[in-house]
Amino acid sequence: MREKKEQLRTYLQTSKTRESRIVAGLLFESLAQLQLQEEVALTLFPMVKVKTPGSRNAKWKNQSSSPAGAANPIQFKPTDTVEYNGSTWEEEFQAGVFYIPKSSNQVAFDSFILVGQILYIFSLRSLLRTTSKKE
């Protein structure tokens, strides 16, 4: 527990300045993956595609503030964690096993787990935002 608090403190410290946000993003992704390997406890919301005026492309938005966007809490603990290699799959998925790629540059997603008849796919990304304001 102490180690997690120390990692979180490091993340919070590195996320404060623009120069260290890249490190903070990598640290966040690592902390989130470790947490998901121990226990998945999330509240999911439906998403809809929204076309904004003047924009050529629609964007996905969550419906957390909409009455139609009922929260769907999920909670489970993976039975094991398995690293898989490459983009081809040669084995059968095992229910309850948390799968992570050996490659750190997996483009589409970071990890997945099959629970019951539902395949949960996780994609953790940190966004780097630049600003002209001085910090």
As a whole-number percent, the residues of the chain with pLDDT over 70 amount to: 77
pLDDT given at position 1: 61
Q: pLDDT tens digit string along 16-58?
A: 777 777 777 777 888 888 888 999 998 888 878 888 888 888 8
Host domain of residue 117: 1-39+77-135
84 and 112 fall within a common domain: yes
Mean pLDDT, rounded, for 64-70? 69
- 125 with 91, same domain: the answer is yes
End-to-end C-alpha distance for the chain, whole angstroms: 32
Alpha-carbon distance values, 54 to 42, 49, 57, 85 (Å): 34, 15, 9, 42
30 with 83, same domain?
A: yes
Mean pLDDT calculated for residue range 69-98: 83
pLDDT at 134 over 50: no
Work out how many domains the chain is built from and give that number: 2
End residue of a domain, out of 31, 54, 72: 72
Give residue for tokens 């081809």: 88
Residues 125 and 85 in one domain: yes
With cut-offs at 50, 70 and 90, classify the pLDDT of residue 77.
very high
- 27, 81: one domain: yes
Q: Do 46 and 109 have their domain in common?
A: no
Sign of CA dihedral 96, 63, 31, 29: positive
- To which residue do tokens 């989130």 refer? 32
The pLDDT assigned to 39 comes to 92
Query: Are 66 and 82 part of one and the same domain?
Result: no
Residues 33 and 91 in one domain: yes
